[in-house]
């Protein structure tokens, strides 16, 4: 060890003459103290020492017997164990340039000539020692660096293997594109599963990555990925597989920068999101359906709110018109006018009941198999006069079409709304409105087609045409309920409705209704005649309704048939009268919806005083949800407003018997 704590430099001295070695050793000890000197009197011996002893340098005489210094240098350099030992070759003062050149080529680091100058010797030894230390330091660092490279290379190989395993075993498609060469560097095997194309095809022809994209999406994606992007992109597009099927892709593309910060590659992850898109579409459909149901519920609330008052008004119109008809025998003109009023009132009542179907308050609707053709013909008689100029109507109705299990008013509503919709679509246009009715070839449905050559509908309008309140008409021209009512009736009858529309070409509505087996007459709340008037009866009826006109109507209808009637517009007053004379009444005819006590609450009170007391409940609503409560309250029958006198008398007779 020297004073600095480092190991003492070890030098090999080789010369066949002992005197020369002695002088050389003395000079080094004097001018470079602290060196560990190893002596050899021959080249072979010196080589053997160098193979087994760590050395920092060697001083070798050029001229030696057997093996000279140049050959010894060559042997040092050929053996890896000694190749890094710096050699200072000792030559005669008259050595030629050729000799020196051979020595350098053999591996000598430098020369010193005899007689040896102490200062020159010291300087050159210090140089080779410094060089050796620097080379050793560099070699150690290189070895360390190589170790680090090996470790990192191994880690990189492991990372690449893991990435490859990951890429080959997941559904996402990894890809890497080089912008300089415009070549695809990598695409994972999932590409073939999703795209239905092999990665080899993509490697051979990178632009083909755009060819599989749907033509409508391709320009947008080419513009996004065609340049040298500097930000992350999130793209969604469709691809067309070889079998023609469409798949939805979500592609995330990331810029990759080189050492200078320049984007030179694009890395991406593409995911097949087709199932997600289908689920989203299903959710949108459900949301649309829910929105439509909410609109229908709004209609129901609206209809339920106005039905009671509206049906009370219709009850007065129908009831008093019916009574007036009985008093105009022999006056045909007046009778004809009153029959028109009665018919309009009955049709209005049917319309109210159809609207109540949206609120599901109408209860079960009595239906029977009916022939469709006569109903459509009758409706067209009323509709044809409203055709605008320039519109030609063609009608092709199969006389044998049907029957359909329904109520006639439902078929009327279907044809009237489809006709009106077609006429509106052809407003200001010339063309043909065609109506066709046939039995389908398989004998399962009756098919009604209404086709116009009107303005047609775009995709957005067509998707909303059955929505309640949706209309393309200007304010005041439509309510947006026509097609919605048609859709509701068709569904209620177990059928289907489809529409095909082309903007500026026209629309076709195709209604399919299930065939019934026989033709009959539907049970109806209303008859359009006043024949078969019931025979006169007797009994005391307590009438309670918060509408004075209805009380007056019932009292007039019943009194004319021989009944005694006590009427009131207050449920509390009616209850008081019953308590005062509970044995004087034979039947309670009460409205359901009243501000003090409902009809059901009254019925319960009457049953407590007189169990089994006959009660008939009148209602302008559907009350389908109250059937169980009505039965528990002892209510014998329910009478829907408006009603004919014959229906009222028949119901009372049935209950009293």
CA–CA gap between residue 507 and residue 422 (Å, rounded)? 8
Task: Assign domain 173-272 to its CATH superfamily.
Answer: PAS domain (3.30.450.20)
Comparing 522 with 70, the larger pLDDT belongs to 70
pLDDT at residue 524, as a whole number: 40
- Helix, strand, or coil here: 7? coil
pLDDT at residue 338, as a whole number: 86
User: Domain locations in the chain?
Assistant: 10-141, 173-272, 284-359, 368-514, 540-656
pLDDT at residue 636, as a whole number: 86
pTM: 0.45
Percent of the chain with pLDDT over 90: 18
Nearest Cα to Cα of residue 265 among 174, 326, 188: 174
Are 284-359 and 540-656 the same fold in CATH? no
Burial environment of residue 146 by CB neighbours within 10 A (0 to 12, 13 to 18, 19 or more): exposed
Q: Which helix or strand (DSSP H or E) is residue 14 part of? A: strand 10-14
Supply 623's token pair: 């009350």
Using 50, 70 and 90 to split pLDDT, how confident is the model at 585? Answer: very high
Instruction: Calculate mean pLDDT across residues 539-568.
Output: 91
Average pLDDT, rounded, for the chain:
82
Instruction: Calculate mean pLDDT across residues 524-539.
Output: 50
Which residues face 446 on adjacent strands?
A: 439, 513
Res. 525: pLDDT tops 50: no
Q: What is the CA radius of gyration of the chain?
A: 54
The stretches of 79-117 forming alpha helices (DSSP H) are 97-106
Q: Which CATH architecture has domain 368-514?
A: 2-Layer Sandwich (3.30)
Instruction: Calculate mean pLDDT across residues 178-194.
Output: 84
Instruction: Calculate mean pLDDT across residues 307-328.
Output: 81
pLDDT at residue 468, as a whole number: 62
* CATH no. of 10-141: 3.40.50.2300
CA–CA gap between residue 6 and residue 2 (Å, rounded)? 6
Res. 444: pLDDT tops 90: no
CA–CA gap between residue 70 and residue 550 (Å, rounded)? 139
* CATH no. of 284-359: 1.10.287.130
pLDDT at residue 299, as a whole number: 64
> b/e per residue, 557-587, with b = 16+ CB within 10 A?
bbeebebebbbbbbbeebbebbeeeeeebbb
Which residues face 174 on adjacent strands?
A: 269
* Beta strands at 246-257 and 263-272: parallel, antiparallel or unpaired: antiparallel
CA–CA gap between residue 375 and residue 369 (Å, rounded)? 13
Q: Which CATH architecture has domain 540-656?
A: 3-Layer(aba) Sandwich (3.40)
Using 50, 70 and 90 to split pLDDT, how confident is the model at 280? Answer: confident
Biggest alpha carbon–alpha carbon distance for the chain:
171
Using 50, 70 and 90 to split pLDDT, how confident is the model at 427? Answer: confident
pLDDT at residue 532, as a whole number: 47
Res. 193: pLDDT tops 50: yes
Instruction: Calculate mean pLDDT across residues 435-445.
Output: 88
Using 50, 70 and 90 to split pLDDT, how confident is the model at 103? Answer: confident
Instruction: Calculate mean pLDDT across residues 420-430.
Output: 86
Instruction: Calculate mean pLDDT across residues 295-319.
Output: 73
Long-range contacts: 569-572, Cβ < 8 Å, 24+? 569/544, 569/545, 570/544, 570/546, 570/596, 571/544, 571/546, 571/595, 571/596, 571/597, 571/598, 571/599, 571/601, 571/602, 572/596, 572/597
Which residues are within 8 A (CB) of 35 and not within 5 positions of it... i.e. 6 or more apart?
8, 9, 10, 11, 28, 29
pLDDT at residue 153, as a whole number: 66
Which residues face 436 on adjacent strands?
A: 396, 449
Supply 646's token pair: 């014959």
């Amino acid at each position: 060890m020297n004073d600095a704590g480092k190991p003492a430099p070890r030098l090999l001295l080789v010369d066949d003459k002992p005197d020369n070695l002695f002088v050389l050793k003395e000079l080094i000890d004097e001018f470079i103290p602290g060196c560990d000197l190893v002596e050899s009197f021959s080249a072979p011996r010196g080589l053997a020492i160098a193979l087994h002893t760590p050395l920092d340098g060697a001083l070798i005489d050029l001229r030696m017997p057997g093996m000279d210094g140049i050959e010894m240098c060559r042997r040092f350099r050929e053996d890896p164990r000694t190749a890094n030992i710096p050699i200072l070759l000792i030559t005669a003062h008259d050595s030629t340039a050729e000799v020196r050149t051979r020595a350098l080529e053999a591996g000598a680091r430098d020369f010193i000539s005899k007689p040896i100058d102490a200062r020159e010797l010291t300087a050159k030894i210090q140089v080779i020692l410094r060089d050796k230390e620097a080379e050793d330091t560099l070699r150690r660092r290189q070895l360390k660096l190589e170790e680090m490279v090996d470790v990192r290379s191994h880690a990189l190989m492991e990372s690449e293997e893991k990435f490859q395993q990951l890429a080959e075993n997941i559904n996402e498609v990894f890809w890497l594109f080089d912008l300089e060469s415009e070549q695809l560097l990598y695409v994972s095997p999932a590409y073939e599963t999703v795209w239905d194309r092999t990665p080899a095809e993509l490697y051979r022809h990178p632009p083909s990555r755009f060819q599989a994209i749907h033509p409508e999406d391709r320009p947008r994606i080419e513009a996004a990925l065609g340049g040298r992007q500097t930000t992350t992109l999130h793209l969604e597009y469709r691809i067309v597989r070889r079998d023609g099927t469409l798949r939805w892709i979500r592609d995330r593309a990331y810029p990759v920068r080189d050492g200078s910060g320049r984007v030179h590659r694009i890395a991406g992850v593409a995911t097949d999101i087709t199932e997600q898109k289908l689920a989203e579409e299903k959710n949108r459909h459900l949301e649309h359906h829910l929105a439509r149901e909410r609109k229908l519920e709004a209609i129901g609330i609206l209809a339920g709110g106005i039905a009671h008052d509206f049906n009370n008004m219709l009850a007065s119109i129908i009831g008093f018109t019916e009574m007036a008809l009985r008093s105009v025998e022999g006056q045909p003109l007046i009778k004809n006018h009153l029959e028109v009023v009665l018919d309009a009132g009955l049709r209005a009542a049917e319309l109210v009941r159809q609207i109540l179907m949206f609120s599901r308050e109408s209860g079960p609707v009595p239906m029977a198999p009916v022939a469709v053709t006569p109903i459509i013909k009758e409706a067209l008689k009323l509709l044809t006069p409203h055709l605008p100029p320039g519109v030609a109507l063609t009608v092709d109705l199969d006389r044998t079409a049907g029957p359909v299990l329904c109520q006639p008013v439902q078929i009327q509503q279907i044809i009237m709304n489809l006709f009106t919709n077609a006429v509106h679509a052809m407003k200001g246009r010339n063309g043909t409105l065609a109506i066709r009715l046939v039995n389908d070839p398989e004998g399962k449905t009756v098919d009604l087609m209404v086709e116009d050559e009107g303005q047609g509908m775009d995709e957005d309008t067509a998707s909303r045409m059955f929505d309640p309140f949706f209309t393309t008409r200007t304010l005041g021209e439509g309510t947006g309920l026509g097609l919605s009512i048609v859709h509701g009736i068709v569904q209620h009858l177990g059928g289907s409705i489809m529409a095909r529309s082309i903007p500026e070409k026209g629309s076709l509505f195709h209604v399919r209704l299930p065939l019934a087996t026989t033709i009959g007459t539907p049970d109806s709340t209303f008859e359009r005649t006043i024949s078969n008037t019931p025979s006169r009866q007797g009994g005391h009826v307590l009438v309670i309704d918060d509408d004075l006109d209805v009380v007056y109507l019932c009292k007039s209808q019943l009194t004319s048939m021989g009944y005694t009637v006590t009427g009131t517009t207050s449920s509390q007053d009616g209850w008081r009268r019953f308590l005062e004379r509970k044995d004087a009444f034979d039947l309670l005819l009460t409205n359901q919806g009243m501000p003090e006590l409902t009809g059901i609450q009254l019925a319960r009170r009457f049953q407590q005083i007189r169990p089994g007391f006959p009660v008939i409940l009148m209602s302008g609503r559907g009350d389908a949800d109250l059937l169980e409560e009505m039965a528990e309250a002892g209510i014998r029958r329910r009478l829907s407003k408006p009603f004919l006198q014959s229906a009222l008398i028949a119901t009372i007779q049935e209950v009293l018997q």
